Structure 1
Amino acid sequence: MLDTSHIPGPSLPTAPGVGYKPQHFAAILEDPGAVGWLEIHAENYMGDGGRPIAQLRALCDRFPISVHGVGLSIGGERPLDPGHLDRLARLVRWLKPASFSEHLAWSTHDTGFLNDLLPLPYTARTLARVADHIDQVQEALGRRMLLENPSTYLAFAETEMAEVDFLTELVRRTGCGLLLDVNNVFVSATNQQVDPVAYIDAFPLDAVGEIHLGGHDEDADDVGAPLLIDSHGRAVADPVWALYAHTIALGGRKPTLIEWDNDVPDWPTLRAEAARAGRVLAGPAPAGALA
């Protein structure tokens, strides 16, 4: 286990950021608006060169960069892929990002890789495995990582503890930080018919180094109950904005990312979403908590 007690945590500015998309490269440099930092998906930048790396080098001269992994399969039953971890460590060494994060999810089974972020049962056995994998990542990178809460659609019968308790114990065991995805909280709470405000109230907000906001799609299940899909393909919904304001009121201002990965809009639209987050961060802290 890496001793993280003397390692600085994520150093993103307390400002809005956006997930970087190459089609926005020129517009970001010309008029970033309220955007103070950018996030990239690690797996898009593990090559040796070419336009993606050249653009990233230009951007990191202007903006703090957060690296968000989507392929480590931290929750997978098999060992972490050493080749993937080596490529990630190489990226982190030269980029020196302000933050690195991954998902509490799994994508691997036997020798296969599933192009999805799948949820886990919250058991003592899973907790030990995920903690071991976090230790391995932090050792390889030489830095404290952030772990993101998932969006879920069903609960596991074998689950032994609440998600918040599971995450809190991971922080205690590994010294990692947390990435709080507020949209994921709202999606999961709606799908499982629990209170999203109570989830936020119980969350270890002092361990949060970054917040994510994104859009979701609305559907219904087989019996007509609401079913939300974490799509990252539209603007942040008003109830998610309200939950975000509650989070900031409770835990203080945090670096906040707008995620928009599908049906990506033009730069002014994305910049406007970041500006809305910036108004929450820059204005007076919202008074009190949501009822």
Structure 2
Amino acid sequence: MLDQSSANIPEIPNRAGVGYKAQHLNGILKDPSAIGWIEIHAENYMGDGGRPIAQLKHLRDMYPVSCHGVGLSIGAEGPLDADHLARLKHLVSWLNPALFSEHLAWSTHETHFLNDLLPVPYTQAVVDRVVDHIDQVQDTVGRRMLLENPSTYCAFEESDMSEIDFLSEVATRTGCGLLLDVNNVFISATNQQYSPEAYIDAYPLEHVGEIHLGGHEEDADDHGETLLIDSHSRQVVDPVWELYEYTLKQSGPRPTLIEWDNDIPSWDVLANEARLADDLLANAQLVAAE
């Protein structure tokens, strides 16, 4: 289990942050108080220089940064990509992010990379594999990692434990934290017809270091049932805001990211989503203080 108690890691506030996009730089610089922190996708900043790196270094001096990976393939059957892990270690070493996270998913098979975050079955064998991979990542990078719950569209017949039991065991055995994506909870619960509130009730909230919120698209499956797709392409819908508020009542305030990765809006639209999250966080802080 990783011990980083003596590491000089920046603190991240219990405020709303946004996934940084270069087209929003001017808006951020004009109104820096609109957000409390930013998050970047690690794979976009693994080069050695250029304008993106220069902009990120400038923003790092203004805000705490969360580094969110999408390419480690934590759940893959094969070994982790040593070159990718080395690039990640280099990025974390100079960026010194406040938080570092990855997905419970796989995207590689042998020498092939799939441009998707694919789910894993919830079995003891997969728990053991994910634990080994997270131990390797944390030992290499020298940081505690947060593991994000996936959005799912179906369940594996071979699963013999719940998603929550899976995540709880992984967090306990590795010392990693959890990234709770509330939008993913709502999507999975809708698609698989269970209560999102019951999921939150059972979730190990003590391990949560960050929350994600985002938009999704609504479709229908072959039987005409509602099928939600995790698209990160629109505003957070009211039922997800309500589930987020429900979560905060139990967890207390946590750093919360507004994810918007496709059909990128103007800065004013994204900043307003952050303001809505900040309002709910401020209320949760008042409740926690009572």
2:114 paired residue number: 114
- Given that residues 248 and 286 in structure 1 are in contact (C-alpha distance below 8 angstroms), is that contact kept between their aligned partners in structure 2? no
- Residue identity opposite 1:166 in structure 2: F
2:151 paired residue number: 151
Residue 100 (structure 1) shift: 0.2
- TM-score, length of structure 2 as denominator length: 0.96
Q: Distance in 2 between matches of 1:8 and 1:144?
A: 13
Matches within 5 A, 1:73-152: 73-152=73-152
Secondary structure of 2:150's aligned partner: coil
Q: Distance in 2 between matches of 1:11 and 1:205?
A: 19
Aligned residues: 287
- Given that residues 9 and 144 in structure 1 are in contact (C-alpha distance below 8 angstroms), is that contact kept between their aligned partners in structure 2? no
Q: Does 1:253 align with 2:253?
A: yes
Write out per-residue CA displacement over residues 255-275 of structure 1, whole angstroms, 9 at most, x where no aligned residue: 000000000000000000000
Q: Distance in 2 between matches of 1:75 and 1:147?
A: 11
Q: Distance in 1 between matches of 2:261 and 2:10?
A: 23
- Given that residues 248 and 285 in structure 1 are in contact (C-alpha distance below 8 angstroms), is that contact kept between their aligned partners in structure 2? no
Residue 27 (structure 1) shift: 1.3
Q: Distance in 1 between matches of 2:52 and 2:9?
A: 27
Q: Does 1:214 align with 2:214?
A: yes
Unaligned runs of 5+ in 2: none
Residue 2 (structure 1) shift: 3.1
- Given that residues 28 and 34 in structure 2 are in contact (C-alpha distance below 8 angstroms), is that contact kept between their aligned partners in structure 1? no
Q: Taking structure 1 as reference, are residues 6 and 172 closer, same or farther at Cα in structure 2, changes over 3 Å only?
A: farther
Q: Taking structure 1 as reference, are residues 203 and 4 closer, same or farther at Cα in structure 2, changes over 3 Å only?
A: farther
Q: Distance in 2 between matches of 1:7 and 1:162?
A: 34
The alignment yields a C-alpha RMSD, in angstroms, of 1.5
- Given that residues 249 and 284 in structure 2 are in contact (C-alpha distance below 8 angstroms), is that contact kept between their aligned partners in structure 1? no
Secondary structure of 2:32's aligned partner: coil
Write out per-residue CA displacement over residues 24-67 of structure 1, whole angstroms, 9 at most, x where no aligned residue: 11210111343000000000000000011000011001010000
Q: Taking structure 1 as reference, are residues 286 and 58 closer, same or farther at Cα in structure 2, changes over 3 Å only?
A: closer
Q: Choose 120-129 or 8-17, whichever is displaced more.
A: 8-17
- Given that residues 76 and 108 in structure 1 are in contact (C-alpha distance below 8 angstroms), is that contact kept between their aligned partners in structure 2? yes
Residue 84 (structure 1) shift: 0.2
- Given that residues 101 and 148 in structure 1 are in contact (C-alpha distance below 8 angstroms), is that contact kept between their aligned partners in structure 2? yes
Q: Choose 112-121 or 2-11, whichever is displaced more.
A: 2-11
State the identity %.
Answer: 67
Q: Distance in 2 between matches of 1:121 and 1:286?
A: 40
Q: Taking structure 1 as reference, are residues 178 and 157 closer, same or farther at Cα in structure 2, changes over 3 Å only?
A: same
Secondary structure of 1:283's aligned partner: helix
Q: Choose 11-20 or 27-36, whichever is displaced more.
A: 27-36
Q: Taking structure 1 as reference, are residues 286 and 229 closer, same or farther at Cα in structure 2, changes over 3 Å only?
A: farther
Secondary structure of 1:219's aligned partner: strand
Q: Distance in 2 between matches of 1:230 and 1:51?
A: 30
Q: Distance in 1 between matches of 2:45 and 2:68?
A: 11
Q: Distance in 2 between matches of 1:78 and 1:221?
A: 32
- Residue identity opposite 2:277 in structure 1: A
Q: Does 1:72 align with 2:85?
A: no
- Given that residues 103 and 147 in structure 1 are in contact (C-alpha distance below 8 angstroms), is that contact kept between their aligned partners in structure 2? yes
2:231 paired residue number: 231
- Residue identity opposite 1:185 in structure 2: V
- Given that residues 121 and 159 in structure 1 are in contact (C-alpha distance below 8 angstroms), is that contact kept between their aligned partners in structure 2? yes
- Residue identity opposite 2:275 in structure 1: A
Q: Distance in 2 between matches of 1:154 and 1:286?
A: 39
Q: Distance in 2 between matches of 1:9 and 1:120?
A: 31
Residue 11 (structure 1) shift: 2.9
2:199 paired residue number: 199
Residue 247 (structure 1) shift: 0.4
Residue 6 (structure 1) shift: 6.5
2:243 paired residue number: 243
Residue 202 (structure 1) shift: 0.3
Secondary structure of 1:270's aligned partner: helix
Unaligned runs of 5+ in 1: none
Q: Distance in 1 between matches of 2:74 and 2:173?
A: 15
Q: Distance in 1 between matches of 2:39 and 2:275?
A: 16
- Residue identity opposite 1:266 in structure 2: S
